[in-house]
Structure 1
Amino acid sequence: MGENRMGSIPYFPSSIFEDAGSYADAYFGLCAAAAATVEREALAKAGRLLAERAAAGALIFSCGNGGSAAIANHLVCDCMKGVRTGSWLKPKVVSLSATVELITAIVNDIGPEQMFAHQLSSLASPGDVLIAISSSGASPNIIRALETARAMKLTTIAMTGFSGGEAARLADITLHVDAQNYGVVEDVHQSLMHIIAQYLRHSHLEDSSSLGSVKF
């Protein structure tokens, strides 16, 4: 299982910047430092898992709140359109954050912590994959989704930041960003999403001449 981690990169910003340009220099530097903390072995494992399960026709579910919901939705776009361009792989990706009508009904009638888990209980099967995205790793609906996925025999990937929270402990694979700023964590999570999607295409190309000829 994933491990809980305490962040070593300090909170940002810790001082006042004179303009947006100098702020950007510091911010981008922190993004690079945070990206370097993501365990490459865990990322390689996630890539292999998703390639294997996608090729087998398993469903890949994604979920997140706020900015993480946007990343979860973006994964669907890049896998269902981008990965398929020039590739024989056809990932079946479903974002549990996408349907506002269903989400609000679940929150209102059942409870906010069931927002994603209730959907999984209807849609998922053993052998499917859940990618749960949470900067804090502590959102109750993310925790419940991971617990439900484990009970249903799904394999789970968590993208986390800050200390990792309970999500980092529950997931089979944790892609942890050691940073204390939500923007930085989300930016690296977005990059991880792009890396995973582009790697899936790259590793299943029908013709290597189309290596870079796709718009993600």
Structure 2
Amino acid sequence: MKKNFNQFLDFYLSELVSSINKSKISQIEKASSKILETIKKKGTIFVCGNGGSAAISNHYVCDYLKFLRQHTNLMPKVISLSSNLETITAISNDIDYSQVFKYQAESLFQKNDLLIIISSSGNSKNVKEIVKFSKKKKVSIIGFSGFDGGYLKKNSDISIHIPAKNYGISEDSHHILMHIILQYLILKQQK
């Protein structure tokens, strides 16, 4: 471990960039195309995750709903399944926490929709449940995973795997890629 702050900062940033560069760049480009296709087909983009990944999910709504629309002619519909505390706690309390995303999706998913899942481990029970349901409903899945990728990496239609064994690096990478895809879509639409 690095002894002083500057050494640690250099180490952390190096690990962050290295982890992003080790992901499959072609998958990131496919994800941007799928997001654009979903918006153009008037589908809804659903996003979900637990913990820090829930915060990233909620940030998608802010940036894709407001910022993308503000800088293009696109009219995206984006919903975070991680944002409604009342719904999440009611489902957790009355049914089971493993159902918090799937239960919402059962009422919301339509044809042409897209699901973006953010999960460092890729193995959370609620992630597995919504993946299975999405497959059954033929809703495409973009999965952002870390560590070994787990169930999410193996079962996503488009898998963006960050091979980091550190939650901070994994989550930071997922967040940075969210912004990269967003700004790339804006650039493409402004041509």
TM-score scaled by length of structure 1: 0.86
> 2:66 is matched with which residue?
81
Give the RMSD, CA atoms, in angstroms: 1.0
CA contact (8 A) 1:82 1:201 kept: no
> 2:137 is matched with which residue?
152
Return the match for 1:55 from 37, 40, 46.
40
Higher helix share: 2
Unaligned runs of 5+ in 2: none
Return the match for 2:162 from 147, 153, 177.
177
> 2:84 is matched with which residue?
99
CA contact (8 A) 2:47 2:117 kept: yes
Which SS does the other structure have where 1:83 is aligned?
Answer: helix
Which SS does the other structure have where 2:189 is aligned?
Answer: coil
Unaligned runs of 5+ in 1: 1-14, 209-216
Residues 172-200 of structure 1, C-alpha deviation per residue, up to 9 Å, x if partnerless?
01000011111001110001111122222
4+ runs deviating over 6 angstroms: none
Is the counterpart of residue 140 in structure 1 residue 119 in structure 2? Answer: no
Which SS does the other structure have where 1:138 is aligned?
Answer: coil
TM-score scaled by length of structure 2: 0.97
What is the letter of the counterpart of residue 86 of structure 2?
E
Which SS does the other structure have where 1:156 is aligned?
Answer: strand
Residues 137-188 of structure 1, C-alpha deviation per residue, up to 9 Å, x if partnerless?
1111011111111111100010001100011111101000011111001110
> 1:43 is matched with which residue?
28
- Give the fraction of aligned pairs with identical amino acids, expressed as a percent: 40
Q: Distance in 2 between matches of 1:78 and 1:86?
A: 11
Aligned length: 191
Q: Distance in 2 between matches of 1:109 and 1:25?
A: 47
Return the match for 2:106 from 121, 143, 146.
121
CA contact (8 A) 1:75 1:197 kept: no
Which SS does the other structure have where 2:62 is aligned?
Answer: helix
CA contact (8 A) 1:76 1:95 kept: yes
What is the letter of the counterpart of residue 59 of structure 1?
T
> 1:21 is matched with which residue?
6
Is the counterpart of residue 204 in structure 1 residue 184 in structure 2? Answer: no
Which SS does the other structure have where 2:69 is aligned?
Answer: coil
Q: Which has the higher contact order (CA 8 A, sep 6+)?
A: 1
CA contact (8 A) 1:125 1:153 kept: no
What is the letter of the counterpart of residue 164 of structure 1?
G
What is the letter of the counterpart of residue 140 of structure 1?
K
CA contact (8 A) 2:41 2:112 kept: no
Residues 11-39 of structure 1, C-alpha deviation per residue, up to 9 Å, x if partnerless?
xxxx3x32222111111110011010111
Please report how far the alpha carbon of residue 103 of structure 1 lies from its aligned counterpart in structure 2 after TM superposition. Answer: 0.3
Q: Distance in 2 between matches of 1:45 and 1:72?
A: 19
Please report how far the alpha carbon of residue 110 of structure 1 lies from its aligned counterpart in structure 2 after TM superposition. Answer: 0.8
Which SS does the other structure have where 1:196 is aligned?
Answer: helix
Q: Distance in 2 between matches of 1:142 and 1:84?
A: 29
Greater Rg, structure 1 or structure 2? 1
Which SS does the other structure have where 1:108 is aligned?
Answer: helix
